[in-house]
């Protein structure tokens, strides 16, 4: 076994990485036809590994979506609050392009990107009508196994 080397990223590599992430954000988000209403729903699904945000109309038809992985984050960086705020920024730009101004936010999951995504949506000019937590919570749980007989 040889010596173990610790690879430190240079300043140029860090700049390239931030440019790559921002280029992924600027990438055109696939959108369907523009909606006639100015209202919509945003569903935030935040897990331990990723943050997914979906923009729908009031009936639940998906208009566009984005995730931390689709923007360009990889590995454990997808689960950070910073990645969630960047995803929310991309969705808010798509919502403005579609003409949606008022949104109802539905949050599901227990990840670290919940609050930062909501804050980022509010900062980028979308009027938040309501915030609902729809995280599934078990009530009474599953049936326990029967008693073991030896």
| pLDDT higher than 70, residue 108 | yes
Evaluate whether residue 106 is within a structural domain. Answer: yes
Residue 12's Cβ-side half-sphere holds a number of Cα atoms within 13 Å equal to 0
Interval 95-119 mean pLDDT: 95
Evaluate whether residue 138 is within a structural domain. Answer: no
Evaluate whether residue 24 is within a structural domain. Answer: no
What total of structural domains would you count in the chain? 1
Evaluate whether residue 92 is within a structural domain. Answer: yes
| pLDDT higher than 80, residue 98 | yes
Evaluate whether residue 144 is within a structural domain. Answer: no
When the pLDDT of each residue in the chain is averaged and rounded to a whole number, the result is: 88
pLDDT at residue 60, rounded to an integer: 93
Interval 132-141 mean pLDDT: 91
Where is average pLDDT lowest: 6-10, 78-82, 117-121? 6-10
| pLDDT higher than 60, residue 96 | yes
Domain that includes residue 97, residue range: 38-133
Please tell me the pTM assigned to this model.
0.73
How many helices (H) and strands (E) would you count in the chain? 4, 5
**Cross-sheet strand order for the sheet of 51-56:** 62-67, 51-56, 39-46, 102-109, 127-133
| pLDDT higher than 90, residue 126 | yes
CATH of the domain at 117: 3.30.420.80
Evaluate whether residue 113 is within a structural domain. Answer: yes
User: At which residue do the structure tokens 């919502």 appear?
Assistant: 95
The model's pLDDT over 2-55, given as tens digits with 9 standing for 90+, comes to: 666 666 667 787 777 777 777 766 555 555 565 466 899 999 999 999 999 999
Evaluate whether residue 16 is within a structural domain. Answer: no
Evaluate whether residue 110 is within a structural domain. Answer: yes
């Amino acid at each position: 076994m040889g010596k173990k080397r610790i690879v430190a990223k240079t300043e140029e590599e860090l700049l390239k990485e931030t440019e790559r992430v921002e280029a992924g954000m600027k990438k055109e988000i696939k959108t369907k036809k523009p909606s006639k209403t100015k209202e919509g729903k945003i569903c935030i699904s935040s897990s331990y590994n990723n943050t997914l945000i979906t923009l729908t109309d009031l009936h639940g038809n998906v208009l566009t979506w984005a995730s931390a992985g689709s923007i360009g984050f990889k590995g454990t960086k997808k689960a950070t609050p910073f990645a969630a705020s960047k995803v929310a920024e991309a969705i808010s730009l798509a919502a403005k392009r579609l003409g949606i101004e008022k949104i109802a936010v539905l949050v599901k999951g227990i990840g670290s990107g919940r609050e930062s995504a909501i804050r980022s949506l509010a900062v980028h000019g979308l009027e938040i009508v309501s915030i609902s937590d729809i995280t599934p919570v078990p009530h009474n749980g599953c049936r326990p196994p029967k008693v073991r007989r030896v």
